[in-house]
């Protein structure tokens, strides 16, 4: 049994054999302005569930989405810098940047935090928010498509566990905020600084969860796997597969930290 199917089997087994609930409030945390969501009911048998084909059949997901879930489930944490940089250059060309970003690799979130602290706060405030991995607006979805989005989000969250990576990214900020030697003014500046660099930051596990959901929606709307919108999402997934944890976007460089650091 693969790590993906095993994860899903465990998820389903937590519930009764003939009923599954998906908390749609987790869908709201993705930042999509969709309101009035309750709980998605469904009846799924777990008997004989032992393959990705079973997963596609049970949840009605597109096989390509399932294959992407399998890939991220089996992704190693070791970074392949050349592949990550290839994806970044390719994406920069796709989004129309005049030149590829200058990529700066740092070993872990703490080192990246210390590096960013070299900027004056006023300079950080004037920097544009992170856009390199940004997705388009919330796609239009009917009830069935929304259900599929929620299923993929739950599966992807179970497999990628982005909250665990988020804690690793928050750790340097929390340590800085709790510095007992800081006077009130300095402590306030640290809090503002930590909040500001958050606008420059993109967690690749978080972005990958959303990209997987968007791939499923695009495919359910009839777009082919090779279409540009699907490929645009696949780049984010590839960055995760090749070991990228997070980026921070500054005018001079794209700061990258490998997932093995978390």
| pLDDT, tens digit, 9 for 90 and up, residues 125-175 | 999 999 999 877 777 888 888 888 999 999 999 889 999 999 999 998 888
d(CA 244, CA 240): 5
pLDDT at 42 over 70: no
pLDDT, position 184: 73
Higher pLDDT, 10 or 72: 72
Query: 48 by DSSP, 3-state: which?
Result: coil
pLDDT at 87 over 90: yes
**In the Cβ-directed half-sphere of 54, how many Cα atoms lie within 13 Å?**
15
Looking at the DSSP assignment, which residues form a beta bridge with residue 104? 255
Helix 204-220 to helix 143-160 angle (10° resolution) is: 150
pLDDT at 4 over 80: no
Look at residues 121, 258, 257 and name the one whose alpha carbon lies nearest to residue 194.
Answer: 121
Radius of gyration of the chain (CA): 20
């Amino acid at each position: 049994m693969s790590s993906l199917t095993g994860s899903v089997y465990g998820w389903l087994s937590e519930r009764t054999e003939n009923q599954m609930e998906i908390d749609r409030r987790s869908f709201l945390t993705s930042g999509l302005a969709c309101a009035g969501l309750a709980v998605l009911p469904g009846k799924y048998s777990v008997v004989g569930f032992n393959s990705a084909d079973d997963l596609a059949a049970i949840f009605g997901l597109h096989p390509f989405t399932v294959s992407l879930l399998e890939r991220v489930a089996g992704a190693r944490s070791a970074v392949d810098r050349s592949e990550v940089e290839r994806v970044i250059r390719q994406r920069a060309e796709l989004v129309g940047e005049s030149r590829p970003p200058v990529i700066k690799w740092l070993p872990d979130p703490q080192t990246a935090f210390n590096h960013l602290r070299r900027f004056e706060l006023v300079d950080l405030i004037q920097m544009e928010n992170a856009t390199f991995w940004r997705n388009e607006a919330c796609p239009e979805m009917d009830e069935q498509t929304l259900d599929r989005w929620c299923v993929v989000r739950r599966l992807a969250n179970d497999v990628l566990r982005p909250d665990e990576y988020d804690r690793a990214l928050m750790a340097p900020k929390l340590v800085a905020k709790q510095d007992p030697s800081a006077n009130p003014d300095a402590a306030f500046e640290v809090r503002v600084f930590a909040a500001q660099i958050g606008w420059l930051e993109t967690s690749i596990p978080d972005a990958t969860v959303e990209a997987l959901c968007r791939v499923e929606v695009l495919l359910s709307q009839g777009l082919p796997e090779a279409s540009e919108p699907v490929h645009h999402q696949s780049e984010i997934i590839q960055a995760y597969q090749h070991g990228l944890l997070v980026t921070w976007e500054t005018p001079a460089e794209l700061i990258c930290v490998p997932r093995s650091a978390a």
